[in-house]
Amino acid sequence: MKPVAVGGCNFYLQNCVRADSLAPCFFIFGDSLSDSGNNNFLPTTAKANYFPYGIDFPGGSTGRFTNNFNSVDYLAKFMGVDLIQPFTNTSGSNILKGVNYASGAGGILDDTGILQGDRLNLRSQITKHKLIFTSVAVKLGGVDAAKQYLSKCLYHMNIGRNDYFDNYLKPFFSLTTFTDDLIARYALQIKALYGVGARKFALVGLGPIGCVPRKRNTNEYNGKASFIMVNSSAISSQSPAFLALKNKNDSCCKTVSSTGLCVKNVTPCQDRDNYVFWDGLHTTDAAHKIYALSQFNASNSNFTYPMDITHLLSLSLSS
C-alpha cells in the first residue's frame, strides 16, 4: 500500500512521531476501541489477550482488540509520550505520564456490558482516575499542584457505542429519551474530571453523542476548559487514507458468531493493512492509525471541531 498523506503526516508515520512532548500526560477513557489490557484481569468474556490479537504487536497479544496498535497508542506516539499503561497495570509505572482506563464492553450506563461479565463502566473509570489524582497530588506536593500539572494533559474519551448496542433498541426506550439520558450522564462525568484538574478534552463522537462537546463547551466553563469533537463518521467516509483501504466489509480474522471476537489460535488474513475490520466489532491497526492521524492533525475541518488535538494541546487556559 502506498503512503497516503494525512494532515502533514503520511500513512507510515514519517514526520509524525515526536522527539519532544506536546503534553506531560495522557489519560484515556473508553471501551474496547481504546482498551490496552484492563479486561485481562477481569472476569469477562470481552477479552482480547490471545492469538491472533496482537499478531503484529511487539511481544504479542496484550488485550488490545486489534492486530497491533490502537488509536490512542498512535496518539501517544504523535504527542511524544510513552504508550499509556492500563489502570490494572499501573504498579511501578509512571502515573505522571498518564493512565488508560478504557475497558472492553464498558459504557456510559452502569449496566451496559453486564452480559459479558465485569468491566469498567465510565463511572468506574472516573472513580479510578480520582484515586490516581490523589496519588499525583501526593507526588507533586498537594492538590493545587496536581491540578495545575494535570490541566496541561490530554483527556481522550471514546465511549458510548456499547450503550447503543445493548440498550436503545429495546422497546421501552425512545431514541430521544435514551440519548438525552446518555448526554446528561456523560456531562456529569466530564464535570467530575474537570473537578480534578482536567481541562483539555477530546471527545470522540457517536451519532447524537457527537453533539456533547458543543453542548459542554458553554459559558459554564468560561474559557477554563476546552473541548473538541472527533467526528469518526466523517473520517471513515471522507478520509482519502481510509477510502484507500481495499476491504471495508470483511473481518480479517475468523470470528465467533455469538461474540464477534476472533476465534482463538486461527491465523488471520495476510494483507491486514488493506482491511478496515480486524474482527466483527473492531478495526485493524491500519484503520486505527488513520483515525489517530485524522484527529491529531486534521486535514479536513469536518474531522475535528473546532480544532484538532495538536492545536488543543497548544492552548493556554485560565486556571
Catalytic residues: 32, 279, 282
In whole angstroms, give the CA distance from residue 111 to residue 164: 12
* Cell numbers that stand for 105 in this block: 464492553
In whole angstroms, give the CA distance from residue 74 to residue 281: 20
* Cell numbers that stand for 244 in this block: 484507500
Nearby residues of 47 by Cβ (< 8 Å), 6 or more positions away: 39, 40, 63, 104
Burial of 44 (0-12, 13-18, 19+ CB in 10 A): buried
First CA to last CA distance, the chain: 46
The answer to whether 287 touches 306, Cβ cutoff 8 Å, is no
Q: Is the dihedral of CA 8, 13, 14, 15 positive or negative?
A: positive
